[in-house]
Amino acid sequence: MKKLLSIVLFLSAFPVFSQMVPAGFPVLEEALRRKELLGELQMGTAMMHRPLQLPWSESFIFPDSWNPFYLGQTFSVDLEDSISKNNYFGVLPMRNFFRFSPERPYGQAPGMLRPAVGAQNLLSGGVEFRWKMLHAFVQPEWYVAENRNFDGFPLSFPARVNSLRQSLWNRGDMPEVFSQGPSSAFHWGNSKLALQWGAFEWAVSSQQLWWGPGQFNALMFSHAGQSFPHISFNTWKPAKTFLGDFSGQILIGRLEDLEKQPSQINELNANFRPGLPQNDWRYLNALMLTYQPKWLSQLTIGFTRSFQQYESRRPRTFNGWLPVLEPFQKRRVFDEDNIRFSDDREIDQQATVFARYVIPKAQMELYFEFGKRDHNLDWREFILNPEHARAYLMGFQKLFATADPGKVWQLRGEMLQGSNSINRLTRYGGNVVSGWHTHGRLNGFRHQGQLLGLGRGIGTNVQTLEFSRVHGLDKWGFLLERVENHQDFFWAAFEEQEGAQPWMDLSGAFLWTKVMGPLLLDVRLQGIWGYNYQWKGNLPQKAYIPNRLDFLTQAHLYYLF
């Protein structure tokens, strides 16, 4: 009887533990958002600040055999003879992500995956450990890739167009091929070591970050690209005050350049990365804060800001360590006549604001995010010219009840505008290639050759619409997507060419997710119709627009021990 009582106490202790949903987890984040729209769960500020930790989870959040993991009841041992909520060891789910694109890269590449051609596979697993104030996730990743060559940007364009394409590469450090031939790599993945006190923690981490309300994209940090090492002071759950709930994070990180030749054609690599430091890393300082008013709990608002600078050029001053605390206006770095730029630190900055509104009665959510990568001279210029150096996204989700209990239709969509506004012509003229995540001094907000927020490419616009039938975690449905590739390059290179056409991708995908005991399988089968691929229809003497049909296969497999 005593032994049975000990077992019962042992199991009942685990539901208080937090469990982590990695940023960009394609199934569980969706489930949490749906529960919030149904009025069964209130995520508050946590959904704006991912990865998510779920100390408040209840048995209805995740169905079937996935409940035990998020209630702390998977394979685990208590570190002391007495049951304590502060002492815990557990095995995290095994995750395998397979991706196959036979002819050309397409779409975002989460985590260590890359926008590459051929087969790729990412394997991840690990353990969670807690002892008193110490909390750790050890969740490394192992990546292998085929890295086929493919039909990329051609050498056949006039010298001016080729030069502008080189300028785009120089502002992004994104090569067409990341490695010649098969490759493999190990990374610490979503690992973290933290000291927690109340709702706050100090952490050393390599976790993927996602800031903002986006379902498919984010302007500052998303799951696109490999995560970077950072130290952080942040909330790990919403901090409750008399004004409402707050979540936030301030971090210092290390970003690395890939320093690979961007083109598969040597002649196009002649002017790659001129004037940038070699063998140097970039110091990143970033800040985010979100707020949910106590009197309007359906609304969440927030902002983010980031600075990056090559470490060898960073001053060892307070502003050098924490530039995110500087004023926004640029007037302070100009001379008295506002003519000469007097700041020689060579820094790159971005800032965004966002909001999300949940309407449980309508089972609906609306959200937006607006960002600027070049701050205005003063508030007057911002009011008169808010379009300068901006990007934005907006989206929605709506659930429709069915006659079957627990089953709903899900309609969700998002529009992303990553290209410059028309005022680029008055600012820069027609021969400058720029866009969100680019900068004239540091040439891109990136790590290991991939953009940290908008993983679809510089100056790219995306519209996404999904319609699915959902029951718990099980789902089947369809996704439509329209992508305008590198629009800032297109307008700079071909604006004066009569009849020039953009490169546009129209795609449709079948989505299927199924829980099978301890297994969770998430599959995407996508066909892509590429209109004027790589702008080849704009080549001199070209009499037709070259179109092509390509395919993409993705499969996530998760296993609970």
Q: Can you give the residue ranges of every domain in the chain?
A: 18-71+92-559
**pLDDT (0 to 100) of residue 425:** 67
Q: Tell me the average confidence (pLDDT) per consecutive run of 10 residues in the chain, 561 residues long.
A: 38 44 82 88 86 59 54 51 61 92 92 92 92 92 94 90 84 81 93 94 96 96 93 93 95 90 85 70 96 94 94 87 84 58 71 96 97 80 80 97 92 95 70 76 82 88 97 94 93 87 96 90 97 91 83 93 71
**Which pLDDT value is given to residue 81?**
43
Q: Going by C-beta distance under 8 Å and a sequence separation of 6 or more, which residues neighbour residue 339?
A: none
Identify the three-state secondary structure at position 491.
helix
| CA distances (Å), origin 518, targets 248, 416, 425, 472 | 34, 36, 56, 15
Q: Quote the CA–CA distance of 293 and 464 in Å, as a whole number.
A: 30
Task: Tell me which DSSP letter residue 442 carries.
Answer: T
Give, in degrees to the nearest 5, the angle at Cα 20 between 16 and 23: 155
Burial letters 251-265, b for 16+ CB under 10 A, else e: bbbebbbeebbbbbe
Give the integer Cα–Cα distance in Å for 71 and 322.
Answer: 38
From the list 299, 288, 269, the residue with the least C-alpha distance to 163 is 269
The residue among 550, 528, 537 whose CA lies nearest residue 502 is 537
Beta-carbon contacts of 423 under 8 Å, excluding residues fewer than 6 positions away, are 385, 387, 388
Tell me whether strands 20-21 and 52-53 are parallel, antiparallel or unpaired. antiparallel
C-beta separation of 213 from 355 below 8 A = yes
pLDDT at res. 273: 65
Residue 169, pLDDT score: 82
Interatomic CA distance for residues 171 and 438, integer angstroms = 6
Q: Are 531 and 545 in contact (CB under 8 A)?
A: yes
Cα separation, 530 vs 486, whole angstroms: 14
Best CA proximity match to 53, nearest among 75, 83, 25, 84? 25
- HSE-up of residue 407 (Cα within 13 Å, Cβ side): 9
**pTM beyond 0.95, yes or no:** no
Q: How far apart are CA 449 and CA 175, in angstroms?
A: 7
Name which CATH class applies to 18-71+92-559: mainly beta
The encoded tokens of residue 119 equal: 């087969």
- For 153, 171, 291, the CA distances from 304, given in Å and listed in that order, are 35, 22, 12
The whole-angstrom separation of Cα 443 and Cα 523 is 35
